[in-house]
Chain A
Amino acid sequence: MNILPALATTSDALAAEKTRLDVIGQNIANAHTTRGPDGNVYQRRVVTFEAQLRQAIGIDGGSLVSGPRVAAITTDATPGEAVFKPSHPHADAEGMVRMPNVNLSHEMVDLITASRSYEANLSVVRTARQMAQRALQMGR
């Protein structure tokens, strides 16, 4: 058994949430990118998590204890809105420019959710540390 219980699970979660924050940051940064390296308009990326099984963490072995990992970073294929901007270098023959499908308010909500999840996991570490300290002070 670990001195800090559940450290592996929590660190998996922190890494996964960090990736999500990175991707949300990328979406916000590219909210106005009308041409990417592939020549197309930027499409927002979505992170999905999946649980992974960790065997034999429990006292008895074979317990159902698992941490999340990033399953995939997928591209949201929903078309972004087309704006009439004839002066824009990326405008088509009718003067329409296809904008990225990034919705800033959606990204902000996701950003806050991800950072709150990150904080919740940090408080798990804090509690685990307190518990380990108590255990170390036994008999003092």
Chain B
Amino acid sequence: MIDHLLASENYGVAKKLLDAAALRHEALATNIANVETAGFKRVDLAPDFARQLADFSARPGMDTIEAIHPKVAEDRLTQAMRPDGNNVQVDRELLEMNRNALEYEFLTQYASDSIKRLKSAITGRIQ
């Protein structure tokens, strides 16, 4: 039972995604912090994180999850709209940050529920 709850793939993915959401918050905070820095290029989660997640859903397993490492990389796709070469748009960053925070909330709720289930299995009481 304990194995199933805390070593399940979903719980492992939730942990990884929580790490990724916290890292993404840092990236978005950096973008907002540097909105007035000339020549700054926005940063975000590296695109290979999405690829690694897709690999995981194709071949699920705890070892595949452990191999996933979210990283931050410069966003080369967004064009700079300003003459100083800075490609940060505050409204977009704030929107993404709110979305990211909501995702984080969902993931903490999922992890929380997993722990609560384990707790009620141990105590025999419904929390």
- Return the CB mask of A4-36 against B: 1 if under 8 Å, else 0: 011001101100110010000000000000000
**Complex contact B26–A9 (CB within 8 A):** yes
Q: Report the count of interface residues on B (CB-CB < 8 A).
A: 41
The answer, among B26, B33, B111, B116, for a CB contact under 8 Å with A5, is B26
Given contacts A51-B40, A59-B23, A127-B97, contact A9 B33 (CB under 8 A): yes
B22 at the interface (CB under 8 A from A): yes
- CB-based contact A1/B22 at 8 Å: yes
Write out, one digit per residue, whether chain B residues 92-122 have a CB within 8 A of any chain A CB (1) or not (0): 0110011001001100110110011001000
Query: Given that A58-B26, A127-B25 are contacting pairs, would A13 and B32 also be in contact in the complex, using a CB cutoff of 8 Å?
Result: yes
* Count of chain A to chain B residue pairs whose CB atoms are closer than 8 Å in the complex: 125
Given contacts A5-B25, A65-B30, contact A137 B112 (CB under 8 A): yes
A10-B33 in contact (CB<8A): yes
- Within the complex, the shortest CB–CB distance from B49 to chain A, in Å, comes to 11
Question: In the complex, are the beta carbons of B34 and A59 less than 8 A apart?
Answer: no
Contacts of B94 in A (CB 8 A): 120, 123
B19 contacts chain A at the CB level, 8 A cutoff: yes
Check B101–A121 contact: CB distance below 8 A.
no
Given contacts A64-B43, A65-B30, contact A6 B25 (CB under 8 A): yes
The answer to whether B105 touches A134, judged by C-beta atoms less than 8 angstroms apart, is yes
Does the CB pair A51–B101 fall under 8 Å?
Answer: no
CA of A63 to CA of B71, assembled, Å: 7
Q: How far is the CB of B13 from chain A (nearest CB, A)?
A: 15
On chain A, the residues within 8 Å of B35 by CB distance are 117, 120
Q: Are the C-beta atoms of A67 and B112 separated by less than 8 Å?
A: no
Q: How far is B98's CA from A62's CA once the two chains are assembled, in angstroms?
A: 26
Within 8 A of A (CB), among B50-105: 69-74, 90, 93-94, 97-98, 101, 104-105
B residues contacting A by CB (< 8 A) are 18-19, 21-23, 25-30, 32-38, 40, 43, 69-74, 90, 93-94, 97-98, 101, 104-105, 108-109, 111-112, 115-116, 119
Could you give 7 example pairs across A and B, Cβ below 8 Å? A20-B36, A49-B37, A59-B22, A68-B37, A117-B32, A130-B101, A131-B101
The 7 A-B pairs of least Cβ separation, nearest first, read A13-B33, A6-B29, A139-B115, A6-B26, A63-B72, A134-B108, A49-B37
